[in-house]
Every structure is written in C-alpha cells, then in structure tokens.
Structure 1
Amino acid sequence: MSWYLLILAGIFEIGWAIGLEYSDGLSKPVPTLATGVALVISMVLLAQAVKDLPIGTAYAVWTGIGAVGTASLGIVLFDEPASLVRMGFIGLIVVGIVGLHAASGGH
C-alpha cells in the first residue's frame, strides 16, 4: 500500500509543480489555490508512505516521479524542447525509480 501512496504523492507533486506555471508566480488565485492543495496532498501522502518505506528511497522516488512527470508535461503543455538527449536523461530517472523500487523489495 505504501508504494501506491508514494506513486499518488508523486502524481500530486507533478500537479503542484505544473500549477506553479499556471499560477503565474502565485498571482492567480484559482491556480494558486489548486497548487497549494496539490502540494499539501502530495506531502501528506509522502508522509504516510514513509511510515513503511525508507525515507531515502521514498524521497528519491517521489522527486523522480515529479521530475519525470513535470519534464514530460513541460514538453506537452509548454512547448519545452524534446531533444533526444533530454529524453534520454528523463529515461535515466525512470530507470532510477524502477531500480529503487526493485532494490527495496518492491512491496
């Protein structure tokens, strides 16, 4: 269950990171509120996950999910570059996430 909470926490991390762009420096009330809510949910879910998972593993996976998701959505939503090199490094983060999951026993 902790891994599911951690994945969900990572998804909400993507939400608040993308929300920062839409909030225009936290100057737009609705996107700012949504960003804040996503941030709190992400932190609460991460806190629940680390009850059963090592903090180093959980934090690395949480930030990795956020980094991969935010970078990918940056390409799709904000026309950020999608060079082969950039995609390769995003792929390396995915490999790291999967490796940490496997190294922790995956449960």
Structure 2
Amino acid sequence: MAWIFLIISGLGEVGGVTFMKLSDGFKRWKGTVGAIGAGFVSFFFLSKALQTIPISTAYGIWTGIGSIGSVILGMFVFGESRDWRKVLFLSMIISGVIGLKVVSGGH
C-alpha cells in the first residue's frame, strides 16, 4: 500500500506544480486553491509512504514522479520544447526511479 501512497503523492506533486503555473503567481484564485489542495494531497500521502519506504528511496521517487510528470505536462499541455535532449534526460530520470524501486527490495 505504501507504494500506492507514494504514486498518489507524486501525482499530487505534479498537480501542485501545474496549478501553480495556472495560478499566475498566486494571482488567480482557482489555481491557488488547486495548488494548495494538491500540495496537501502530495505531502499527506508522502508522509504515509514514509512510514514504510525508506526516506532515500521515497523522496527520490517522489521527486522523480514530479519531475517526469511536470516535463510531460509541459510538453503536451503548455507547449514546451520536445527537444530530443530533453527526452533523453527524462529517460535518465525514469531509469533512476526504476533503479531506486529495484534496490529498495520488499519495502
């Protein structure tokens, strides 16, 4: 269950940063409320995951999910560059997240 909590918290991180973008520097109330809500979800579920998963693994994966999700949303929703180098480095982050899961064993 801890891994499900970690995935939810990572997705909350993606939602939080997306809503921050939409809040226009916290000037738009809908984006601001969304960022606060998503941030709460992210940290709440991260705290639940940390009860079982080591902090080094959980935090690395949490930030990886946030990074990967933010880059993908940036490319497909906000029209950011899809340069092959960006995709290359994104794949490195994905490899790192998978590696952390593999070496964490049965936690």
Q: TM-score of the superposition, structure 2-length normalised?
A: 0.97
CA distance in 2, matches of 1:30, 1:79: 21
1:58 aligns with 2:20: no
Between the two proteins, what is the percent identity of the paired residues?
Answer: 36
What corresponds to 1:94 in structure 2? Answer: 94
CA distance in 1, matches of 2:106, 2:73: 27
* Aligned amino acid, residue 16 of structure 2: W
Q: CA offset at residue 25 of structure 1?
A: 0.4
CA distance in 1, matches of 2:8, 2:87: 23
Q: CA offset at residue 31 of structure 1?
A: 1.1
Q: CA offset at residue 78 of structure 1?
A: 1.0
1:49-80: CA deviation from partner (whole Å, max 9, x where unpaired): 00001111100100000000001100011111
CA distance in 2, matches of 1:82, 1:31: 25
Q: CA offset at residue 106 of structure 1?
A: 4.9
What corresponds to 2:76 in structure 1? Answer: 76
CA distance in 1, matches of 2:17, 2:34: 11
Aligned residues: 107
Q: Which runs of 5+ in 1 are unaligned?
A: none
CA distance in 1, matches of 2:106, 2:15: 25
Q: Which runs of 5+ in 2 are unaligned?
A: none
* Aligned amino acid, residue 104 of structure 1: S
Kindly report structure 1 stretches of 4+ aligned residues shifted beyond 4 Å.
none
RMSD: 0.8
What corresponds to 2:10 in structure 1? Answer: 10
* Aligned amino acid, residue 82 of structure 1: R
1:63-101: CA deviation from partner (whole Å, max 9, x where unpaired): 000000001100011111011110010010000001100
